[in-house]
Amino acid sequence: MAEEAELYPKKILEYMEGFLVSKTLFSACELGVFELLQSACLSAGQVSAALSTSVDGTERLLSACVGLQLLNTHTHTDRTVLYSNTEMSNVFLVKSSPKSLYHSIEYSSRTIYLCWHYLSDAVRDGKNQYEKAFGVNSKDLFEALYRSDDEMVKFMHLMNSVWNICGRDVITAFDLTPYKTICDLGGCSGALAKQCVSAYPESSVTIFDLPRVVQNSQKHFMTDQDPRIAFCEGDFFKDELPQADLYILARILHDWTDQRSVELLTKIYQSCRPGGALLLAEALLHEDDSGPLTVQLYSLNMLVQTEGRERKASEYTRLLNAAGFTHVHTHTTGKIYDAVLAIK
């Protein structure tokens, strides 16, 4: 016990230094370090010249990225240290990679990070901090979230990268073969719809989202249209939902209060055919409140950014039961996001 206690200061310091790691990653991406070193092996001086940054600052940033295992070092014959991307950086930090998280990192740096500056206020007030962070009224959550077309596209890039990497895990958590017509409510960029038709080639998917989201999706993300994927404009709280065998809510309910969630779930239940189903994709908290830490932090993020929270499987089951769904099944994927299937 005494030995463990000796480690406490180190652990607290590591927690304090967590934001330094984040900002190092954010800055390296923003400055274009990983794009430059994607297929090149360069010295700090060469990187500095290419990025128009100071040599001293560049050396320190590159060194920190080596410590984070984002860059490799190589010593030239003249003892000059050269830098190149690690495999992880080439796959996840280079913008052109199919699995790139660059846009997620950019959104985290320029939007989420600013909201987190007001976390103490969010805990005191019990509400999101868009007004303090950006000077916009957050009475209408998505009016604040989508406060400009540029901000909307950034958010869509965030969701696109998430489902490019994690979508197949939730889509294949249950066998969805029986459901031929699928409606992805709040389908955003269409990344999850693409995962659906890839995993279930005989299915068709309708992406249902706000008109501006649909327009930006078609402009920026779905330029090569798949005949199995269609769009429908609307507000899932206000407008009639398309008919489907399976509805999907992927990272939607965590934006909303229990009351609003039941309102939406009830509407889906009423639209759902007998034998039809609803698939939820969410990050689930442990039933004993012990974690996972990532999801606990996501729940704080929901506090500073939305009206909602992350929930346990039992809490989603309770919401689904309240809406009329009595057959509810949960599948923990062991990855970032889990799946809940409710059958009518």
Specify the number of domains making up the chain: 2
Looking up residue 20, the CATH number of its domain turns out to be: 1.10.10.10
Identify whether 292 is preceded by a cis peptide bond (ω within 30 of 0).
Answer: yes
Reported as a single tens digit per residue, the pLDDT across 24-70 is 999 999 999 999 999 999 999 999 999 999 999 999 999 999 999 99
Q: What is the pLDDT of residue 224?
A: 79
Residues 297, 202 share a domain = yes
C-alpha distances in Å from residue 286, one per residue of 38, 292, 335: 39, 7, 14
Question: What is the enclosing helix (H) or strand (E) of 230?
Answer: strand 229-233
Is 108 within the bounds of a domain? no
Q: Does the active-site annotation cover 254?
A: yes
Instruction: Give the pLDDT confidence of 153-181 residue by residue, as tens digits.
Output: 999 999 999 999 999 999 999 999 999 99
The pLDDT tens digits for 139-158 are 888 888 899 999 999 999 99
* Domain CATH number, residue 190: 3.40.50.150
Q: pLDDT-based confidence at 3, cuts 50/70/90?
A: low
Say yes or no: 67 and 169 in one domain.
no
CB < 8 Å & 24+ apart, contacts of 42-50: 42/82, 42/83, 42/84, 43/76, 43/80, 43/81, 43/82, 43/83, 44/81, 44/83, 47/83
324-344 mean pLDDT: 96
pTM score of the predicted model: 0.93
Domain boundary among 93, 122, 151: 93
Q: Which residue has the tokens 């970032």?
A: 336
Q: Which domain holds residue 205?
A: 164-343
Structure tokens belonging to residue 36: 């430059």
Q: What is the pLDDT of residue 139?
A: 82
Same domain, 324 and 219: yes
First-to-last CA distance in the chain?
Answer: 52
What was the pLDDT predicted at 138?
83
User: Same domain for 88 and 204?
Assistant: no
Placement of tokens 């078609």 in the chain: 218
Instruction: Locate 205 and state its tokens.
Output: 């998917």
Same domain, 174 and 297: yes
Does residue 237 lie within any of the structural domains? Answer: yes
Looking at residue 77, what is its pLDDT?
79
Residues 89 and 168 in one domain: no
The pLDDT mean for the chain works out to: 94
Last residue of a domain, one of 71, 93, 115: 93
Catalytic residue among 254, 286, 327, 329: 254
Q: How many residues does the chain have?
A: 344
At 65-124, the pLDDT tens digits run: 999 999 999 988 788 999 999 999 999 999 999 999 999 999 999 999 999 999 999 999
**312 found inside a domain:** yes
Residue at 127 is within a domain: no
Q: Is the pLDDT of residue 214 over 90?
A: yes
The pLDDT of 274-299, averaged and rounded, is: 96
**Residue 84 maps to a domain:** yes
Domain presence at residue 141:
no
Residue 222 maps to a domain = yes
Percent of the chain with pLDDT over 70: 99
